[in-house]
Structure 1
Amino acid sequence: MAWNEPGGNNQDPWGGKRGNDGPPDLDEALKKFQEKLGGLFGGAGSGGGSQGGGLSSSALGIIVVGLLVVYALFGIYQVNEQERAVILRLGVYSQTKGPGLHWNPPLIDTVEKLNVTKVRSHSSRGEMLTEDLNIVKVDLSVQYRINDARAFALMVRAPEESLAQATDSALRHVVGSSPMHEVLTEGREKIAFDVQARLQAYLDAYTTGIEISTVNVEDTAPPNEVQAAFDDVNKAREDEERLKNEAEAYANGIIPEARGKAQRVIEEATAYREQVIAKAEGEAKRFEQLLFEYNKAPAVTRERLYLDAVQEVMANSSKVMIDVEGGNNMLYVPLDKLVNASAVSARTQELSPEIVREISERVADQIRRENITNTRRREVR
């Protein structure tokens, strides 16, 4: 039964009985609510049902100050030395703050901290075509850091994903412009350098705020199906390099030796030339002196020249044949036996001029005696 129907005892749900029908008294209900709220904060009125006039001004001030303190405390934050803070005010970029203690109004500003000194790493691996249409597998690692916090946080939606895609693009472009031999052997360093330059250009064009520190080509290999053939090729190249090194070592050893021999021959030829020139000059000088002596005493000089010539000839001969003047007999003089008989020491030594002179005198004496004997025999006949 409704409260305003007949028999409902006029029970008013808003605060009591009413003697007549009508809407509830809203002012009275609000007054009761204020009295209860004032009682909670110390604003109770006098007894017997009388109530105060609501919240006191001091209590309201304390509440406001407390809320402001809590609001201010929530806005304090610290940025570490290796971080930068990107500030968004109502969703719009405001500023970038460095290390230190800062404050920004909560619910109005959004603070995003980024570590700009940490070196991050990204790895890429895949199979790709080279310039000579061969397939190679390349493992690449990229080390990078954030150099522009605003660009990293706001300019690109997923900067690290953009880095991965740009790395694959740069790597495939560089490998596709290089022959397989360079990719698999001595061209790794150049490939890493080219990839780093091209990747940094891509990231700068995208304004990702990323700076590439190092690009390393970890490993390069041909597909597994041709690994055996590739190993044979590598072995052949190693043998070629070894043979080249051995040839260079041999050349480095033989060329200086040949140059030394050539220099020695040149020095010997120079010495021989100087010797011949000096000897010729000496002979000419001696001949001039001999001519001078010959002009003073021709007979003596001729005899001396004859004796010297005989001495020089007989010093190199061990046998002498003498034709006796006026006779038919040829005289044979064995000088070697005469020398052995006259001097035992001359067996092992070269004939001295004194010995040759003595032998010559003996031979001449013997020839004169024989000539005298033959002359007397002819006279007697």
Structure 2
Amino acid sequence: MYGKKQNKQAQDADGTDARMTAIACFIKNNFQNLQERYQALTAQIGTKTALGYSGAALLLAWAASGIYIIDEGNRGVIKRFGAYQETTSPGPHWHLPFPIESASVVNVANQRFIEVGYSSASERGAGSILGESLMLTEDENIVDIKLAVQYQIKDARNYLFKLEDQLASLKQATQSAERAVIGKSRMDYVLTEGRSAIVAQIQEQIQKIMDSYDSGIIVTSVNLQDAQPPEQVQAAFEDAIKAREDKQRLINEAEAYANEIVPSARGGAARKIQEAQAYKENVIATATGDISRFNQLFDEYKKSPAVTRKRLLIETMESVLGDSNVVLLDSPQSNNMMYLPIDKMLGERSKNVDNTVSNSKPATINNKVDQIEPKFKRIERGRN
């Protein structure tokens, strides 16, 4: 892109030279025509009269040579005996002819550019200019930087009269601004996320320097063509970049794992807290009920201790022996204790239980009850 712009500037310069050559040829041809007409006029009216006419014609031609036209996008700078006189806008104008005054035309619309740190049109081809491209960073590393600075002329008078070499001054200002900004930045920042900010700072610094010179130049943009470590350390820098990427990847994976596990852990903790709270409330309620029941038993115990003790004993025995399949009968008339294998008896008679119950007569059942009841009464009297 910049090579095309440079070619366009060269073409504009070639076009200007061609126009000047055409004007010179036109003046030469007209001078020859005037010379021929002068000779013819001298032959007709005499030498003295011809000299008068010739002088008037030459004076008129000299005055007409001060006419000039400024194209759109250009400015004319008028100099009188080499000193600035005025600046003219686009359109036809006239100035005192040479050698009193002269006009210089300056294009203020074109975008011009300079290359700093590299050359795209050198004899050896495009490449870095190490004396311009190598910059020292804040962390004492070296960076190879290539910049392209675009600019316009905003004041034709200052552009022509304030600086002796405008392009050299602009390049020096660019290098100065570049060193100031890069020297305050770390290498990683320059090569990665800080490019846009660095370019903006460099452009601002260049403009300040050029304004201090009253250069008549406005910097429209600064383009960072390339920024990289020197070729000698390129491999080591790529390894460092890969390590940094691995570090960031591991950080991202750890954060993703944390985002996944932390909510689960918080949910588990909340569940355990709720379970503990429920267990706490259950234990408190059970203990409160036991206390209330014990207080009631204690009140009853104070009223009739013997009855309460016996009732507690019976309830405890029912609780302990309720699920037992072994029955022991203690008869006061005998020193032997009867053992009834209820589990075996139930196993053998389980098939006939329903039939026996259904076929038993009420009188037989009542007789059996009458036979068993005295035995339980005797057992109770023996215990008492």
Per the TM superposition, whether the score is higher than 0.5 is yes
Q: Distance in 2 between matches of 1:121 and 1:341?
A: 118
SS in 1 for 2:244: helix
Partner of 2:146: 139
* Match among 369, 372, 382 for residue 369 of structure 1: 372
What is the percent sequence identity of the aligned residues? 37
Contact 2:77 2:88 in 1 (8 A): yes
Find the counterpart in structure 2 of residue 93 from structure 1: 84
User: Which residue in the other structure is 1:30 paired with?
Assistant: none
Q: Any residues of structure 2 matched to 1:248-327 within 5 Å, and which?
A: 248-273=255-280, 317=323, 319=325, 322=328, 324=330, 326=332
The alignment yields a C-alpha RMSD, in angstroms, of 5.3
What is the TM-score when the length of structure 1 is the normalising length? 0.58
1:237-259: CA deviation from partner (whole Å, max 9, x where unpaired):
22222222221221222122212
Q: Deviations over 1:32-83 (max 9, x none)?
A: xxxx979728975xxxxxx8994699x89995997499457x3333333xx4
In 1, the alpha carbon distance for the partners of 2:228 and 2:242 equals 15
CA shift digits 1:110-138 (9 cap, x unpaired): 14222246263533242233344433322
Match of 1:171 in 2: 178
Q: Structure 1 residues 132 and 246 mapped into 2: Cα distance closer, same or farther (>3 Å)?
A: same
For 1:209, the equivalent position in structure 2 comes to: 216
* One-letter identity of the residue aligned with 1:88: K
Count of matched residue positions in the alignment of Structure 1 and Structure 2: 306
2: distance between equivalents of 1:39 and 1:224?
Answer: 78
CA offset at residue 320 of structure 1? 5.1
In structure 2, do the counterparts of structure 1 residues 258 and 86 end up closer, same or farther at CA, with 3 Å as the change threshold?
farther
Structure 1 residue matching 2:71: 3-state secondary structure: strand
TM (norm. structure 2) is 0.58
State the partner residue of 2:115. 122
Written as runs of structure 1 = structure 2, the 5 A alignment for 1:1-381 is 40=41, 44=45, 54=49, 67=61, 70-71=64-65, 74-80=67-73, 83-98=74-89, 100-105=90-95, 107=97, 108-116=101-109, 118=111, 120-125=113-118, 126-273=133-280, 317=323, 319=325, 322=328, 324=330, 326=332, 328-329=336-337, 331=339, 338=346, 369=372, 372=375
Q: Which has the higher helix share?
A: 2
The amino acid of 1:129's aligned partner reads L
Once the two structures are TM-superposed, the CA of residue 186 in structure 1 deviates from its matched residue by 4.1
Alpha-carbon contact 1:170-1:198 (below 8 Å) kept:
yes
Distance 1:342 1:135 in 2: 102
Q: Which amino acid aligns with 1:101?
A: G
Question: Which amino acid letter does the alignment assign opposite residue 112 of structure 1?
Answer: V
Measure how far apart 1:180 and its partner are. 3.6
Compare relative contact order (CA 8 Å, sep 6+) and give the higher one, 1 or 2: 2
User: How much has 1:152 moved relative to structure 2?
Assistant: 2.2
1:75 counterpart SS class: strand
Q: Secondary structure at the match of 1:211?
A: strand
Closer, same or farther: CA 336–55 of 1 in aligned 2, 3 Å = farther
CA 1:149/1:285 → structure 2, altered by over 3 Å: closer, same or farther? farther
Seen in structure 2, the aligned counterparts of structure 1 residues 267 and 56 have a Cα distance that, compared at 3 Å, is: same
Q: Could you tell me how far 1:324 is from its partner in structure 2? A: 3.4
Deviation at 1:94, TM superposition (A): 3.6
Give the match's secondary structure for 1:212: strand
CA 66–96 in structure 1, closer or farther in 2 if over 3 Å, else same:
closer
Q: Secondary structure at the match of 2:224?
A: strand
Q: Is the 8 A contact 2:114 2:171 kept in 1?
A: no
Structure 2: which amino acid aligns with 1:140?
A: L
